[in-house]
Amino acid sequence: MKIVILSQPFDTVTPPIQNSIGIWTHEVARRLGADCDTTIIARRLRGMPAQMEIDGIRFELLKCAPARVWGMASRLWSCVWPRSPLVTQNVYAFDFLAQAIRTIRRLSPDVVHIQNFPQYAPAIRRAAPQAAIVLHMHCDWLAELDRNAMKRALAATDLTVGCSEHVVTAARTRFAEMGTIFAVLPNGAPASQNAAAVTRIPGKVLFVGRVSPEKGIHTLIEAWQTVIAACPKARLEIVGPSATLPREFLIDLSTDREVRDLARFYHGGSAYLGSYDAALRAMISPAIAPTVSFVGTQPYKKLAERYAEASLLVNPSLSESFGMSLIEALSNGTPVVATRVGGMTEIMEATGGGVVVEKNDPDALAAQIIGLLVEPGRAAKLGRRGAARVADLYAWEKIAQSTRTLYDRAIASHRSRLGKRNLSLTQRRALNDVNTEPVSSPHSQLTASPTRKI
């Protein structure tokens, strides 16, 4: 089976420094099996060759306009069309898309796996009519963007997967009439074998993720003053790049009032100090400054050391499609305090590896952090439970197996659609009266509407 995984045009996929979607792409691709001939298409960073191989995976790396060029174009576009961001248009990063299409035509794959850019699906369908297309959503764009554009995208795909039931439910509800087959395909984590033997650093609290307003780090900083008053030896490490998400990607699209209120951290907002990082540092009083450190970006393989040393992980996000740091922490036996948001709620319910609080509530957040710090026995029990459940549900090997199964399902769906197009009008009318049965695969939830019109 020939597989092409098309990255987002701004993703960093090649190790050691990757974003979350880049990590998923690399970790799954290298585990798909010997019968899968896998190629990853991604943007080329400075100094990289056009083609390379890592862990048995071929990378086709495309030389594109710098990300800052499209950032400037997006800001100008938003001045004219504020409710229709440039990133949601099929002209966004067209230089990347045009090269990707040429590469896909040359490779002639059996499956094209599109990461998170539904607006590219129709163009990919035209370029590769014989390939099965899997659209993999890591955010709520299917539920948020222009309905007609998203409908065209879904019509071009053979299988649409989301990183959580939260993402899938929103899309399925909006497009219930289409009969689209959806599946849940979550992120993964390394299966730790030594979670119970880890030596923790008492009082070490960890945040891992992009330093960006939707991650709610400002809520954590507000809560930290209370935490230090109760646990003076506690220390907070903030691990991740200072990379504020462009507001048109989320803030301007959201219908959640608290998420939209995060515009105050952007240019022109009441809390804007040049960057979100600067705003956070300004919130930290001199009295607690020695207890907070900004570590910056860490290679994926080194994150395990950070998780293993921590007493607990905190994710105070206001918007989170999945919550990758939760399963990474739990795989190392580190308990979690997370907000009741998006896919994180599903993870906490599935693993029992921590506690949840309402978003944007620094008092509740502080109380739960303090509770786990002063009861290390309870924290350790939660961590052990979470580690066992993550190994069962989210180990990268299991995610790769599920992905491979879903590729087979997408190929079958595509062949069925091609066959139906060649049927006579009488045959098509007869098939339209036949109910489509729900289907399922390991580690995913696949559903089709009762009747699918052709």
Q: Measuring CA to CA, which residue among 321, 31, 319, 298 is closest to residue 171?
A: 321
Q: What is the CA 129 to chain-centroid distance, rounded?
A: 27
Q: Domains of the chain by range and CATH?
A: 2-184 (3.40.50.2000), 195-394 (3.40.50.2000)
The pLDDT score that the predictor gives to residue 422 is 61
Walk along the chain (454 residues) and give the pLDDT tens digit of each residue.
999 999 999 888 988 888 899 999 999 999 998 889 999 999 998 889 999 999 889 999 999 998 889 888 988 888 888 777 888 888 899 999 999 999 999 999 999 999 999 999 999 999 999 999 999 999 999 999 989 999 999 999 999 999 999 999 999 999 999 989 999 999 999 986 565 566 889 999 999 999 999 999 999 999 999 999 999 999 999 999 999 999 889 998 999 999 999 999 999 999 999 999 999 999 999 999 999 999 999 998 889 999 999 999 999 999 999 999 999 999 999 999 999 999 999 999 999 999 999 999 999 999 999 999 999 999 999 999 999 999 999 999 999 999 999 999 999 999 988 877 665 445 445 444 543 333 333 344 444 433 332 2
Which pairs with CB-CB distance under 8 Å and at least 24 residues apart come from 366-371? 366/223, 366/224, 366/226, 366/227, 366/230, 368/337, 369/205, 369/223, 369/227, 369/234, 369/312, 369/314, 369/337, 370/226, 370/227, 370/230, 370/231
445 neighbors 184 (Cβ within 8 angstroms): yes
312 neighbors 379 (Cβ within 8 angstroms): yes
Q: Measuring CA to CA, which residue among 164, 116, 141, 117 is closest to residue 341?
A: 164
pTM: 0.89
Backbone angles phi and psi of 295, in degrees to 5: -90, -30
The pLDDT score that the predictor gives to residue 449 is 36
The pLDDT score that the predictor gives to residue 446 is 45
Residue 289 corresponds to which tokens in the numbers above?
């400054």
**At 228, which helix (H) or strand (E)?**
helix 217-230
Termini Cα distance of the chain: 28
Residues near 446 by beta carbon (within 8 Å), at least 6 away in sequence = 181, 182, 183, 409, 438, 439, 440
Q: Measuring CA to CA, which residue among 157, 113, 160, 133 is closest to residue 8?
A: 113
Report which DSSP code applies to 81: -
Q: Measuring CA to CA, which residue among 199, 244, 96, 356 is closest to residue 119?
A: 96
The pLDDT score that the predictor gives to residue 232 is 97
313 neighbors 200 (Cβ within 8 angstroms): no
Residues in the chain: 454
